[in-house]
Amino acid sequence: MGIQRIKRKAGAVLAATALLTSVSGLAAATTAQAAESATCWGTNWTNNSSLKTTLKGTYNLKVGVGSVCGNVRSVSKGSTFYVWCGAINPDSGVLWFLGRVAGDTPATQPSGYMSSDNLNYVSGTWDYC
């Protein structure tokens, strides 16, 4: 293999690497922009589900559908969370549940929203809000 051929191949590899680097930089910028424009989504308050769950760890109950939403309060690992209904966050695609933490009063009002990622299934089913 001649030196010229090696130089051409090296040039092609460097060009491809530069292209990939610039594309990955664009993806990182796009991800950052998406995170900045995330919205705290709300839903209807519908109690149409029988799903009973427990928390996998200690997590914050939210005022809306999304991690960018404000906190209602912290809920401890093992706490029971009764799901009223579910909604998909349009920004992240994550399923969130509106519901009530066992012991919260009044029992006729939901406590807040919790990501399904934070919950263990106990029994029952859920439906959309």
Whether residues 3 and 56 share a domain: the answer is no
Instruction: Give tens-digit pLDDT for 60-77.
Output: 999 999 999 999 999 999
Instruction: Give the residue numbers spanning the domain of 108.
Output: 52-123
- Lookup: tokens for 30: 């796009």
Q: What is the pTM of this model?
A: 0.71
Asked if residue 46 belongs to a domain, the reply is no
Whether residues 29 and 83 share a domain: the answer is no
Q: What is the CA radius of gyration of the chain?
A: 23
CATH number at residue 70: 2.30.30
Asked if residue 65 belongs to a domain, the reply is yes
Whether residues 57 and 119 share a domain: the answer is yes
pLDDT of residue 32: 44
Which has the closest alpha carbon to 49: 129, 123, 106, 127? 127
Class of residue 94 by CB neighbours under 10 A (exposed 0-12, middle 13-18, buried 19+): middle
Total domains present in the chain: 2
